[in-house]
Structure 1
Amino acid sequence: MIRRLYSLVFIRDILNRKVLLGFKKRGFGKFKWNGLGGKVHSDESIIDGARREAKEEACVELENLKYVGYLEFQFEYDMNDIMATHVFCADEYSGEIAETEEIRPQWFDYDKVPFDKMWKDDKFWFHYILSNKLFKGFFLFQSDQETITHYELNEVDKLE
């Protein structure tokens, strides 16, 4: 079984109850809204990977990253591969949020998150992001990458 490391970051504006999502313009997840993130390189830590991806995708430096979740994704077309995804939140950043070749960032009100244009699993766990709760989950998708065959999801007291 191959576990590939990924990071996923959600920048929140707590005061105004908004979350930054990125519209993916190319690659895996193309045409979906998601957090910032991607593959963690072999020569970097997971948190360094999260910071690098935020810089590459939205031109921001993240501060005070909080580790809030761990998700595993598996697709029926390759049952030997698991996307081990470490989920972070950042309530502070520096720099000007800007569109890049890969991502078009946009702020969404907490109650207007576009779940119909996101990965199908997001609607199950996204509320944890907005309510400062820790979570762990597993999602198995059919080969079409749209249908969830099985999932397990739990709020947890701590993440390792």
Structure 2
Amino acid sequence: MMINCTINGRAYQFRVDPRMSLMELLRQQGFNSVKQGCSVGECGACTVLIDDIATDTCIYLAIWADGKAIRTTEGEVKNGQLSAVQQAYVAMGAVQCGFCTPGLVMTSTSMVERFRGKRLTEQEIRRGLSGNLCRCTGYTSIVRAVQKAQLLDEGEK
């Protein structure tokens, strides 16, 4: 089956097996930030934004991506500049082994964009990140990174 979609702002056309997951397609195309974790939608390592909604690609069929706009962590870097969320993750030390980081960055990006102008509470951030598992950080630095990203997104330092 043929699908058309945009990935990080660039138009693509693919011939896909109807059983192929979007995660498999993205990884085959070199989007290595999309990690294969649990393959059952539990860990969030494969999270991307599909039409600006954080989505686990391991349980999302590639054929469903027809006509969709997909954003991966690679696409968040613009002109060599990290996004506000990526900058905040670095600044707050929210990266340890890094396996879960791309999925967490995309979920965080979705939250920052969706709630632009509203300061999320720690509980709201933790709830928003609940679909992403991290075995290294303990989440405190990740929550702080989302809080900092909200400030950076608003132009504060």
TM-score (norm 2): 0.28
TM-score (norm 1): 0.28
Greater per-residue helix proportion:
2
Greater per-residue strand proportion:
1
